[in-house]
Chain A
Amino acid sequence: MRKHTNPSTGSFSLPDGARLRALAGVRWGLLLAALALAAIGLATVHSASAELAVDYLPRQAAWIGVGLVACAAAFAVDHRLLLAFALPLYLLSLLLLVLVLLVGHEAGGAQGWLRVGGFGFQPSELAKLATALLLARMLARIGGGHLTGRDTARALGVVAVPMLLTVVEPDLGGAVMFLPVVAGMLFVCGLPWRLVTVAALLALLAGGVAWGQFMKPYQKERVLTFLDAERDPSGAGYQARQSKIAVGSGELLGKGYMQGSQSQLRFLPARHTDFILAVLAEERGFLGVATVLLLYGAYLAGGAVVAIRAGDRSGLLLVTGLLSMIGFHVLYNSAMVVGLVPITGIPLPFLSYGGSFLTVCFFATGLILGIDYRRWVNR
Chain B
Amino acid sequence: MWVREERAALVGRVRLLSRLTIGLLVALAAAFWVVQVVRGSTYRELADNNRLRRLTVRAPRGTIYDRAGRVLVENAPSYNLTLDRSETSDLAASLAFAAGALDRPVGELESALARAARLPHFAPVLLAEGLALDQVAHFEVARLEHPEFAVEVTHRRLYRLGAEGAHLFGYLGEITEEELGREPGRYVAGDWIGRRGIERAFDAQLRGQDGERVVVVDSRGQLVDEYRRELGRPGEPLTLTIDLELQRLAEELMAGQTGSVVALDPRNGEIRALVSHPSFDPNLFARRLRRDEWRELVEDTRHPLQNRAIQSVYSPGSVFKPIVALAALAEGVVREDERIHCAGTATYYGQRRRCWHRGGHGWVDLRTALKQSCDIYFYELGDRLGAARLARHARLFGLGRPTGLEIDGEKGGLVPDDEWSRRVRGHPWYPGETISVAIGQSALLTTPLQVAVAYAALANGGELVVPHLVRGERPPAPAKRLPIAPRHLAAVRDGLWQVVNAQGTGAAAFAAGLDIAGKTGTVQVVAQETWIDSATLPWEQRDHAWFASYAPAGDPRLVVVVFVEHGGKGSRAAAPVAKALHEKAHESEHGIVQPS
- What residues of chain A have their CB less than 8 Å away from a CB belonging to chain B? 51, 143-146, 184, 187-190, 234, 242, 244-252, 261-262, 265-267, 281-282, 285-286, 289-290, 293, 296-297, 300-301, 304, 307-308, 312-313, 316, 320, 323-324, 327, 330-331, 334-335, 338-340, 379
A144 (CB) vs chain B CBs: closest residue: B6
New contact pairs (4) apart from A189-B10, A249-B43, CB-CB < 8 Å: A143-B3, A187-B13, A265-B51, A293-B29
> Which listed residue (A145, A187, A301, A338) contacts B22, Cβ 8 A?
A301
Let me know if A266 and B220 touch, CB within 8 A: yes
Partner of A249, one of B24, B46, B121, B224: B46
**A248 engages B5 (CB within 8 Å):** no
**Contacts A145-B9, A265-B51, A267-B50 given; does A300 touch B22 at CB 8 Å:** yes
Q: Which of B31-39, B243-251, B339-347, B519-527 contacts A (4 or more CB under 8 A)?
A: B31-39
Chain B residues with Cβ below 8 Å from A265 are 50-51, 216-219, 224
A249 touches B44 (CB 8 A): yes
B28 proximity list for chain A (CB < 8 A)? 293, 331, 334-335, 338, 340
CB-CB under 8 A from A285, the residues of chain B are 36
Are B14 and A320 interface neighbours, CB within 8 A? yes
A250 to B39, CA, bound (A): 11
When distances are taken between beta carbons in the complex, the residues of chain B under 8 Å from A312 are 1-2
The answer to whether the Cβ of B535 comes within 8 Å of any Cβ in the partner chain is no
Given A144-B6, A145-B5, A324-B17, the answer on whether A250 and B40 have CB atoms closer than 8 Å is: yes
**Contact partner, A300, options B18, B31, B50, Cβ 8 Å:** B18
Are B42 and A248 interface neighbours, CB within 8 A?
yes
Question: Do most interface residues of chain A lie in helix, strand or loop, or is the interface mixed?
Answer: helix
Q: Which 6 A-B pairs have the closest CB atoms?
A: A248-B43, A304-B18, A251-B40, A249-B47, A145-B9, A265-B218
A93 to B6, CA, bound (A): 32
Please provide the chain B residues from 358 to 410 with a CB less than 8 Å away from any CB of chain A in the complex. Answer: none
B482 within 8 A of A: no
| Cβ B51 vs Cβ A261 within 8 A | yes
28 interchain pairs, CB-CB under 8 A? A143-B6, A145-B6, A146-B9, A187-B17, A248-B35, A248-B36, A248-B42, A248-B43, A250-B36, A251-B36, A251-B40, A252-B37, A262-B50, A265-B224, A267-B50, A290-B29, A293-B29, A296-B25, A300-B18, A300-B22, A300-B25, A301-B22, A307-B14, A308-B11, A308-B15, A320-B14, A327-B21, A331-B28
Complex: how many Å from CA A339 to CA B1?
A: 46
Contact A248 B6 (CB under 8 A): no
Contact B14 A304 (CB under 8 A): yes
- Please name all residues of chain A whose beta carbon is closer than 8 Å to the beta carbon of B31 when the two chains form the complex: 335, 338, 340
Chain A residues lying within 8 Å of B421, measured Cβ to Cβ, are none
Contact A244 B36 (CB under 8 A): no
CA distance A290 to B11 in the complex (A): 28
CA gap between A379 and B2 in the complex, in Å: 8
Bound CA span A296–B18, Å? 12
B32 touches A262 (CB 8 A): no
Q: A190-B9, A248-B46, A249-B47 are in contact. Are A234 and B15 (CB under 8 A)?
A: no
B32, A281: Cβ atoms closer than 8 Å: yes
| A228 to B37 Cα, complex, angstroms | 24
Considering only CB atoms, which chain B residue lies closest to A289 in the complex?
A: B32
Closest B residue, CB atoms, query A316: B10
Chain A residues with Cβ below 8 Å from B10 are 145, 188-190, 313, 316
Q: A248-B42, A331-B24 are in contact. Are A304 and B36 (CB under 8 A)?
A: no
A376, chain B: closest CB distance, angstroms: 13
What residue in chain B is nearest A254 (Cβ atoms)?
B36
CB-CB nearest in chain B for A183 = B17
**A190 and B12 alpha carbons, distance in the complex (Å):** 10
Contacts of A251 in B (CB 8 A): 36-37, 40-41, 44
- B426 lies within 8 A of chain A by Cβ: no
A265, closest chain B residue (CB): B218
B120 beta carbon closer than 8 Å to chain A: yes
Closest chain B residue, CB of each to CB of A286:
B36
Query: Do residues A262 and B47 form an inter-chain contact, with CB atoms below 8 A?
Result: yes
Assembly CA distance A265 to B52 (angstroms): 11
Q: Which residues of B contact A286 (CB under 8 A)?
A: 32-33, 36-37
- Find out whether the CB atom of B2 lies under 8 angstroms from the CB atom of A246: no
A230→B463 CA distance, assembly (Å): 74
Q: How many residues of chain B are within 8 Å of chain A by beta carbon?
A: 47
Chain B residues with CB under 8 Å of A296's CB are 25
Q: For residue B17, which residues in chain A have a CB less than 8 angstroms away from its CB?
A: 184, 187-188, 304, 320, 324
- B348 at the A interface (CB under 8 A): no
A331 contacts across to B, CB distance below 8 A: 21, 24-25, 28
Q: A145-B6, A245-B46, A301-B18 are in contact. Are A313 and B40 (CB under 8 A)?
A: no
Is B122 on the interface with A (CB-CB < 8 A)? Answer: yes
A residues in contact with B41, CB < 8 Å: 251
CB B50 to nearest CB in A, in angstroms, measures 5
Q: How far is the CA of A115 from the CA of B34 in the complex (A)?
A: 42
Bound CA–CA A178/B149 (angstroms): 47
Min CB gap A137→B, angstroms: 13
B91 to chain A, nearest CB (A): 15
Q: How far is the CA of A145 from the CA of B12 in the complex (A)?
A: 11
Q: How far is the CA of A245 from the CA of B217 in the complex (A)?
A: 16
Q: Is the CB of A245 within 8 A of B120?
A: no
List the B side residues contacting A316 at CB < 8 Å: 10-11, 14
Contacts of A297 in B (CB 8 A): 22, 25
Tell me the minimal C-beta distance from B85 to chain A in angstroms: 10
Q: How far is the CA of A330 from the CA of B24 in the complex (A)?
A: 10
| A135 CB to nearest B CB, Å | 14
| Interchain CA distance A334-B46 in the complex, whole Å | 21
User: Across the interface, which residues of A come within 8 angstroms of B219, CB to CB?
Assistant: 242, 265-267
For B216, the chain A residues whose CB sits under 8 A away are 261, 265
Residues of B within 8 A of A146 (CB): 9
Residues of B within 8 A of A330 (CB): 25
Chain A residues near B29: list those with CB within 8 A. 289-290, 293
**B47 to chain A: which residues have CB within 8 Å?**
245-246, 248-249, 261-262, 267, 282
On chain B, the residues within 8 Å of A184 by CB distance are 17
Looking at A267, A330, A340, which has the most chain B CB atoms within 10 Å of its CB? A267
Residues of A within 8 A of B32 (CB): 247, 281, 286, 289-290, 293, 334, 338
Task: Write the nearest CB–CB distance from A237 to chain B, whole angstroms.
Answer: 13
CB A284 to nearest CB in B, in angstroms, measures 10
Q: How far is the CA of A242 from the CA of B46 in the complex (A)?
A: 9
Min CB distance B166 to A, Å, is: 46
Which of B41-86 touch A at CB < 8 Å?
Answer: 41-44, 46-48, 50-51, 86
Find residues 196-241 in chain B having any chain A CB closer than 8 Å to their own CB: 216-220, 224
Q: Considering the complex, which residues of chain B in the window 449-482 have a beta carbon less than 8 Å from any beta carbon of chain A?
A: none
> CB-nearest residue of chain A relative to B218?
A265
CA distance in complex: A145, B3 (Å): 9
A250 closest partner in B (C-beta): B36
- A249 and B40 contacting across the interface, CB-CB below 8 Å: yes
In the assembled complex, the Cα of A293 lies from the Cα of B23 at a distance in Å of 12
Q: How far is the CA of A189 from the CA of B48 in the complex (A)?
A: 51
CB-based nearest A residue for B52: A261
Residues of A within 8 A of B48 (CB): 249, 261
Chain B: which residue is nearest A277 at the CB level?
B32
A-chain residues with CB within 8 Å of residue B40 when the two chains form the complex:
248-252
CB-defined contacts of B39 to chain A, threshold 8 Å: 248
| Known pairs A244-B35, A249-B47, A331-B25; A143 contacts B14 (CB<8 A) | no
The CA of A262 and the CA of B217, in the complex, are separated in Å by: 11
Instruction: Report the Cα distance A245→B50, complex, angstroms.
Output: 9
- Cα A293 to Cα B25 in complex, Å, equals 7
Q: Which of B2, B28, B36 neighbours the largest number of chain A CB atoms within 10 Å of its CB? A: B36
Q: In whole Å, how far is B103's beta carbon from the nearest beta carbon of chain A? A: 33
Q: Is the CB of A300 within 8 A of B21?
A: yes
Residues of chain A within 8 A of B121, CB atoms compared:
234
Contact indicator A289/B43 (Cβ below 8 Å): no
Chain A residues whose CB sits within 8 angstroms of the CB of B50 once the complex forms? 242, 245, 261-262, 265, 267
- Measured in the bound complex, the distance between the Cα atoms of B21 and A308 in whole Å is 15
Partner of B36, one of A145, A242, A266, A281: A281
